[in-house]
């Protein structure tokens, strides 16, 4: 009879083939999980961008209401002859610091990945106010060239609706959303 000590010695070590099989199984599982992890990361970044754009909208709404109360014409980009630059100077530094504003509109490390549309407070509430780059045209179509590519993007309407979308054929872009003006990149 063999002793317990000899049996343990024979079964305690892995062979090289067994080790390679285990490593290859782990590699296959990791390659299957990688696209799901990447997609979830992109969706999280898009949600963060939407939240940041909503904060810019709230700041603009506050500045517009204050300006109208003081007898002005509002603070949205096309109110009273504003341009994209005047729009920013109406918010910074009175309502937010330039650093904080830049942090809100910087998408994937680039200010130019955000665009503000030429809208006034009197435009249709479905008009796009701020969006990721790549949303163009009068039908507000997304061409997939924005910072997230074909994975999606986000925008906020003049009425305050914050929308995150996945892919390039999102129903959110064709469901009552208009784009009456031109886009100005930051």
At 51 the pLDDT is 96
At 123 the pLDDT is 85
At 119 the pLDDT is 85
Q: Report domain extents, the chain.
A: 15-55+106-185
At 72 the pLDDT is 75
pTM: 0.79
At 55 the pLDDT is 96
pLDDT mean by block of 10 residues, the chain; 186 residues: 57 81 94 89 93 95 88 80 72 90 92 87 86 74 84 89 81 60 64
At 178 the pLDDT is 61
Show Cβ contacts of residue 88 under 8 Å, excluding neighbours closer than 6 positions. Answer: 101, 186
Pair 117, 137: CB distance under 8 Å: no
Show Cβ contacts of residue 72 under 8 Å, excluding neighbours closer than 6 positions. Answer: 80
């Amino acid at each position: 009879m063999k002793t317990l000590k000899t049996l343990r010695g024979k079964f305690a070590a892995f062979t090289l083939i067994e080790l390679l099989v285990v490593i290859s199984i782990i590699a296959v599982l990791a390659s299957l999980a990688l696209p799901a992890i990447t997609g979830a990361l992109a969706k999280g970044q898009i949600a963060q961008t939407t939240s940041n754009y909503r904060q810019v909208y709230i700041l603009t709404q506050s500045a517009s209401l204050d300006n109208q109360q003081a007898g002005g014409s509002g603070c949205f980009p096309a109110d009273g002859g504003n341009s994209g630059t005047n729009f920013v100077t109406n918010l910074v530094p009175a309502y937010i610091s330039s650093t904080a504003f830049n942090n809100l509109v910087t998408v994937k490390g680039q200010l130019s990945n955000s665009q503000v549309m030429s809208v006034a407070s009197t435009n249709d509430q479905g008009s796009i106010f701020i969006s990721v780059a790549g949303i163009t045209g009068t039908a507000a179509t997304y061409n997939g060239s924005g910072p997230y590519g074909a994975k999606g993007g986000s925008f906020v309407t003049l009425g305050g609706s914050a929308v995150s979308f996945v892919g390039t054929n999102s129903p959110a872009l064709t469901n009552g959303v208009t784009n009456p003006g031109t886009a100005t990149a930051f």
